[in-house]
Amino acid sequence: MKLFKKDTISDEGRIKLEMVTTSQSYPIHQHEFIELVYILAGSGIQSIDGTEYQVCHGSLLFIDYGQTHSLAPLRSMTYVNILLEPEFFSRELVNVESIIDIFCYNIFSEFSKSEHSALQCVSFQKTELEEADQLIKIMLREFEQKKAGYLSVLRACTQTLFSWLLRKINSGSEKTHFCSVQDVTEYINEHFTEKIELGDIAARGFYNPDYLSRLLKRHCGKSFSQYVKEKRIAQAVCLMRDSSLSISEIMLQSGYTDSKMFYRHFREIYGEAPGSYRIRLLADNH
């Protein structure tokens, strides 16, 4: 695994910005500095410590010291890497070893340490997206031109970016969205007995439905509909074994409202009708 050393950041201010456009995957790696990644165009998968995040225009990721990181664009992606060391903010931070320590520094003292634990990936939308785009472009221009006072401008812009991120996390606005495929499967596992559709889940996480379907197939080995069907039928079998509910009641509590679909799905998986399966199941248990 490749390790990027601190000397990757050659700028005297301990910060480096680079805009990258690529369709090539970047293998897993680590670095001895903090990395912020802002997506300007395209979409793809960013993996941090083994957790996959679906990213698109407006996504902002934070990769801490020593975390593993990889990139897999879908077709072409344009993103900005912001590489920095803590002393970029202050020489008092020269020995810190975590991005959390930066947030506990006095420039972010209004935010409590507990609010930073979920910090990894957020998405800017609508007006926020326009403002984030503009801020990133200002930072790129300042870094490239290096006019008098450019480090002060970069420091102020970076602190603004951090503050926007912390504000979103503090307000809970990220809790309704999915950043990773694990979040999606956890949501399905919690809500499969309710009316649940791929399009609705895709909208929650700002996914394209077709892409989300392929992502679930790769992650779970089955399609969205197959995944939900197996969860519901497994729930039905548990209720057959552990309750005295009627088949109709079991059907409803397993997420079905259409009896024909319930019976068809049950036969597809177990090869017989729910009633006969239950009789055999109970007989086997006595």
pLDDT tens string 40-57: 998 888 888 888 888 889
In this prediction, residues 217-222 reach a mean pLDDT of 84
Residue with tokens 């009633």: 275
Q: Rounded distance, CA 91 to CA 86, Å?
A: 8
**Range 215-239 average pLDDT:** 91
pLDDT grade, residue 245 (50/70/90)?
A: very high
* 193-220 average pLDDT score: 78
Asked whether the beta carbons of 10 and 16 are under 8 A apart, the reply is yes
Containing H/E element for 3? strand 2-4
pLDDT value, residue 268: 95
When pLDDT is cut at 50, 70 and 90, the band that residue 205 belongs to is: low
* Of 38, 136, 35, 151, the residue nearest 91 (C-alpha): 151
Dmax of the chain from CA atoms?
Answer: 84
CA of residue 183 relative to chain centroid, distance:
7
Nearest to 134 by CA among 109, 115, 108, 160: 160
Of 19-33, 111-125, 139-153, 216-230, the one with minimum mean pLDDT is 111-125
pLDDT higher than 50, residue 174: no
Taking residue 270's Cβ as centre, other Cβ atoms within 10 Å add up to 16
- Cα(201)–Cα(94) distance, rounded to whole angstroms? 43
Give the pLDDT band (50/70/90) at residue 164: confident
Cα separation, 285 vs 240, whole angstroms: 12
> What are 105's two structure tokens?
């520094």
Region(s) of the chain under CATH 2.60.120.280: 2-176
pLDDT value of position 281: 84
Q: Is the pTM of this model over 0.75?
A: no
Length of the chain equals 286
Tell me the pLDDT band of 29, cut-offs 50, 70 and 90: confident
Residue 91 has pLDDT above 60, yes or no: no
Do residues 80 and 38 make contact, with C-beta atoms less than 8 angstroms apart? yes
- Placement of tokens 């394209």 in the chain: 208
User: Given this model, what pLDDT does residue 167 score?
Assistant: 78
> Is 80 exceeded by the pLDDT of residue 35?
yes
Architecture of domain 181-284: Orthogonal Bundle (1.10)
Thinking of the domain 2-176, which architecture would CATH place it in? Answer: Sandwich (2.60)
Q: For the chain, where do the domains classified as CATH 1.10.10.60 start and end?
A: 181-284
Q: Write down the mean pLDDT value for the chain.
A: 81
The pLDDT assigned to 153 comes to 93
Task: Show the DSSP H helices in the chain as ranges.
Answer: 99-103, 126-145, 150-171, 181-191, 198-204, 209-220, 224-242, 247-253, 259-270, 274-284
Q: Taking the C-alpha atoms of 22, 60, 12 and 163 in order, what is their torsion angle to the nearest 10 degrees?
A: 160
**Taking the CB of residue 249, how many other CB atoms lie within 10 A of it?**
12
The mean pLDDT of 126-132, rounded to a whole number, is 90
Q: How far apart are CA 98 and CA 33, in angstroms?
A: 9
34 in Cβ contact with 89 (< 8 Å): no
